[in-house]
Structure 1
């Protein structure tokens, strides 16, 4: 039998890049330029995130909102080094109020300044946040024509009114701030929206894309549970008694093929399970 769980966002992106083994957009209409290095994403799926080590990529994206039009950009990031600046993404011109970018500054004593860059100190939104290596973070930046907001993991970190953002241009850069490159991180699932998403929509986007649930299978029932629930571990024993072969797929790729004894070791996430009847475990 096949079981799938589908989550949808409250808003549809006008463009997105999943980096599942290529640099193309989800609709294959455009692509980042460069020779990529792909690594495991937050779900543990191989070759499903892009690694940038002092290297940048750019793409011509016709859907980038121009000047003061509403916009939202979200991205998953895992920092492999936090002692230098990480220029996550951005577009526009190196002129006062004409840039829209996201930077994570070098960490000191476990904290780092996160900046929504507009070029010119008065146009930047800066907030200090705890920062650690090797952890996937979900960033969102929004602008509605007046209010600028920064979010991490669905939580609003800072909001400022009155800054005019006149970013123009259609070249989206990752790993680079204007002409300077500085990054040591894994990037995944960049999404561009032509609206300023609400707090609730950003939170829903985070919850629907994070590695947040595991799947437990018992005879006659399949249900999603929290990974912290002890039933996840005990369900593996139940599976062993009832069936022999379990195949687990993530984003169309098989990531596990066993008797289910290690299903509780899966990273938190949403999966497709194929169960094949077999002999009971002795």
Structure 2
């Protein structure tokens, strides 16, 4: 019995350790990661988080922040990046996060494009028309959303509030760069949002892990109508520019 119990405990420990983020930024009154080894540089105001606790989240308004992180997943390495966001303005694009180079397939980032309606295009960016993946989503101001991007080396997936929105084939990713940015794409700044609990993993988390992570970190469970999400890549791409076009036309 002792051997079984010890084995179970060890297995649980190693699984838990393997699924721990390599960097976690809680933004609880500071810009450093949880072990104080890396910090964002830039101007940000601390504000209420999704639980209503003051100075436990970061407000970024037409500013950008950057952190030099030397062990970000590179090239086609697996990764998971999770972040909580509350948009204070959706009429202009929100460059949520990104890192890498401004050339084909060498970038990795998340952009919500500006909208004058209740729907916005979410750009899972890799740089270039053929490399970006874009879906249309319902979007509102003043609501906390959790976005999780997963890449396993060949396929990518995007989740919102623990729900899988779409998976897509994404071969030959060549992400190169150590500067992780919030509110900035290729030196252009566009964001007006509150940011909380940024987690960066060097593994591709499973559906179950992402769902459990969301359910254990949300004050009120948000149920979305998936039928309103347009999953047609071709339909959306007829209207929406690529990462390169967004930057050039901003």
The SS at the match of 2:146 is: strand
Match in the other structure for 2:173: 165
Q: 1:9 to 1:131 in 2, by over 3 A?
A: farther
The structure with the greater share of residues assigned to helix is 2
Question: Which TM-score applies when normalising by structure 2?
Answer: 0.79
Q: Aligned match of 1:194 in 190, 202, 212?
A: 202
Match in the other structure for 2:216: 208
On the 8 A contact 1:100/1:118 being kept in 2, the answer is: yes
Q: Aligned match of 1:75 in 58, 83, 102?
A: 83
On the 8 A contact 2:105/2:175 being kept in 1, the answer is: yes
On the 8 A contact 1:79/1:133 being kept in 2, the answer is: yes
Q: Aligned match of 1:176 in 172, 184, 189?
A: 184
Deviation at residue 200 of structure 1 after TM alignment: 1.2
Question: Which TM-score applies when normalising by structure 1?
Answer: 0.71
Match in the other structure for 1:119: 127
Q: 1:33 to 1:211 in 2, by over 3 A?
A: same
- 1:142 paired with 2:150, answer yes
Deviation at residue 63 of structure 1 after TM alignment: 2.4
The structure with the greater share of residues assigned to strand is 1
- The 2-side partners of 1:96 and 1:102 are apart by 16
- The 1-side partners of 2:170 and 2:184 are apart by 26
Q: Aligned match of 2:115 in 89, 99, 107?
A: 107
**Deviating 4+ runs (over 4 angstroms):** none
Q: Aligned match of 1:23 in 28, 31, 51?
A: 31
The SS at the match of 2:216 is: helix
Q: 1:189 to 1:135 in 2, by over 3 A?
A: same
**Structure 1: gaps (5+ residues):** 1-7, 214-282
- Per-residue CA deviation, residues 40-97 of structure 1 (Å, 9 max, x unaligned), is 0001111011111110000011221011000010000000001010000000000000
Match in the other structure for 1:256: none
Deviation at residue 10 of structure 1 after TM alignment: 8.4
On the 8 A contact 1:77/1:186 being kept in 2, the answer is: yes
On the 8 A contact 2:110/2:123 being kept in 1, the answer is: yes
- The 2-side partners of 1:170 and 1:52 are apart by 21
Q: 1:114 to 1:10 in 2, by over 3 A?
A: farther
Match in the other structure for 2:22: 14
On the 8 A contact 1:175/1:182 being kept in 2, the answer is: yes
Question: How many aligned positions are there?
Answer: 206
- The 2-side partners of 1:22 and 1:111 are apart by 33
- The 2-side partners of 1:210 and 1:164 are apart by 35
On the 8 A contact 1:75/1:140 being kept in 2, the answer is: yes
The SS at the match of 1:73 is: strand
**RMSD between aligned alpha carbons?**
1.5
**Structure 2: gaps (5+ residues):** 1-15, 222-250
Q: 1:186 to 1:9 in 2, by over 3 A?
A: farther
The SS at the match of 1:30 is: coil
